[in-house]
A and B are shown apart, each in its own frame.
Chain A
Amino acid sequence: DAGITQSPRYKITETGRQVTLMCHQTWSHSYMFWYRQDLGHGLRLIYYSAAADITDKGEVSDGYVVSRSKTENFPLTLESATRSQTSVYFCASRGIRDILLGEQYFGPGTRLTVT
């Protein structure tokens, strides 16, 4: 399917476990982003990537790890999940040309619950 997809859509895990959220886009966009959405905070940037093998921290990166070995994939890993990481996670992407327009294209989100 064309577009940007996330998996899983829902995940329940226990404190201390490692969990990886997947993001895949088919547009060959250069930029990819991970956000978390919490009540009252809107969306906050966790990590972003400008190209394969180039990643950088966002506003709330502690406790998260990313990689980008291929342009189309941008997995987000919680190395040791904590309850404070219970949230909805959104992946987004943007092409280089889109910088002029500023628009980002969002995936459907993953609801993660850490018990």
Chain B
Amino acid sequence: AQTVTQSQPEMSVQEAETVTLSCTYDTSENNYYLFWYKQPPSRQMILVIRQEAYKQQNATENRFSVNFQKAAKSFSLKISDSQLGDTAMYFCAFITNNAGNMLTFGGGTRLMVKP
């Protein structure tokens, strides 16, 4: 079975500081894609960042970057220079080539950015 675990139900960070959200996953597949989605109070699911498992280089999107450790099956999200608009639920998810129809999600981390 494929699983995603986010061990931090809630986190908080001061505005302008850096925060790291943790995610571990379990799969027997070798080819897969990992994602972080943001869900603000509007409930809209917004893709933040994507990582292909075959790429060793960690993905970066502006203030968002990941630390992908394939052997450890770890995929953490780092948010630099946190902004009030980053307050949201964050979901880690992955999809494999052999289960191309199913995104598997973690339980989410609620992030609060404090002024």
Q: A41-B107, A43-B91 are in contact. Are A48 and B102 (CB under 8 A)?
A: yes
6 sampled A-B residue pairs with Cβ under 8 A = A43-B45, A43-B105, A58-B102, A101-B33, A106-B45, A108-B43
**Residues of A bordering B, CB below 8 Å:** 31, 33, 40-45, 48, 50, 56, 58-59, 88, 90, 92, 99, 101-104, 106, 108-109
Residues of chain A within 8 A of B91, CB atoms compared? 42-43
Q: Which are the 10 A-B pairs with shortest beta-carbon distances? A: A42-B105, A102-B33, A106-B45, A109-B43, A43-B105, A102-B95, A42-B107, A40-B107, A48-B101, A99-B100
Residues of chain B within 8 A of A106, CB atoms compared? 44-45
Residues of chain A within 8 A of B35, CB atoms compared? 102-103
> In whole angstroms, how far apart are the Cα atoms of A54 and B47 in the complex?
27
- Considering only residues 1-33 of chain B, those with a C-beta below 8 Å from chain A are 4, 6, 9, 33
Instruction: Given contacts A45-B103, A50-B101, list 19 more A-B pairs with CB under 8 A.
Output: A31-B101, A40-B9, A41-B107, A43-B103, A44-B105, A45-B102, A48-B102, A58-B102, A59-B102, A88-B43, A90-B45, A92-B45, A101-B50, A102-B33, A102-B95, A103-B35, A103-B50, A106-B44, A108-B42
> In whole angstroms, how far apart are the Cα atoms of A92 and B95 in the complex?
14
**Residues of B bordering A, CB below 8 Å:** 4, 6, 9, 33, 35, 42-45, 47, 50, 91, 93, 95, 100-103, 105-108
Residues of chain A within 8 A of B103, CB atoms compared? 33, 43, 45, 102, 104
> In whole angstroms, how far apart are the Cα atoms of A59 and B1 in the complex?
11
